[in-house]
Chains A and B, each alone.
Chain A
Amino acid sequence: NAGVTQTPKFHILKTGQSMTLQCAQDMNHGYMSWYRQDPGMGLRLIYYSAAAGTTDKEVPNGYNVSRLNTEDFPLRLVSAAPSQTSVYLCASRLQGANFGQFFGPGTRLTVL
């Protein structure tokens, strides 16, 4: 199993541009999440999906997701802002399971 994979690893955007961060898992996990990691802030939940076809957001606008199937959970930055400069981490787990999540390696995004 590849686990949770994320692409790209690094990217630089200009303010106002849009971008999709890719996330895929091959463990047949129902539950997937996106976090951002910022210095001194820990990991903050942005979006999550309990199953294919369902999504729910945790933070205000600026992001969008889709969950068309079990494997993929792309995160879209609609119109990038410098405040969205961060490391973005995707995670998955079995639905209802309470033994933590599996994380991808992250995407380091810089918005100029």
Chain B
Amino acid sequence: DQQVKQNSPSLSVQEGRISILNCDYTNSMFDYFLWYKKYPAEGPTFLISISSIKDKNEDGRFTVFLNKSAKHLSLHIVPSQPGDSAVYFCAASSTSNDYKLSFGAGTTVTVRA
């Protein structure tokens, strides 16, 4: 039972443009959301997170938006750079479940020069 869903397996974007990655979740107990970035043959690395008490968090070129009523979050990358080409995983956790992470299937982003 996939509680976190990333419905777009891949995204291709031109360098300098905006990348928008989407994520939906079903468990209303989730109260913390994270994005991870993964390059081939490496482990995922933490990118950005957001608490359920906020609706936006920004870190440089990366912004995460949370819409709790829609159980939806998105990651915006502006501007996209070739080094952003990677797999991006959305993850969610719950204070009541000891912060165990539930992951989406991932979105492969390709930034074209």
The stretch that binds B, out of A13-21, A35-43, A60-68, A69-77, is A35-43
B99 and A98 within 8 A (CB): yes
The total of Cβ contacts below 8 Å across the A-B interface reads 61
* Minimum C-beta distance from A100 to chain B (A): 4
A4 part of interface (Cβ distance < 8 Å)? yes
B98 and A50 within 8 A (CB): yes
A58: chain B residues at CB < 8 Å are: 100
* Minimum C-beta distance from B89 to chain A (A): 6
A101 and B103 within 8 A (CB): no
Complex CA distance for A98 and B36, rounded to whole angstroms: 14
Size class of the contact patch on chain B: 20 to 34
Complex CA distance for A50 and B43, rounded to whole angstroms: 21
Q: Which of A31, A101, A105 has the most CB of B within 10 A?
A: A101
B98 and A100 within 8 A (CB): no
Residue of A43, A96, A98, A102 near B103 (CB, 8 A) is A43
A96: chain B residues at CB < 8 Å are: 99
A44 part of interface (Cβ distance < 8 Å)? yes
B49: chain A residues at CB < 8 Å are: 99-100
Complex CA distance for A45 and B9, rounded to whole angstroms: 20
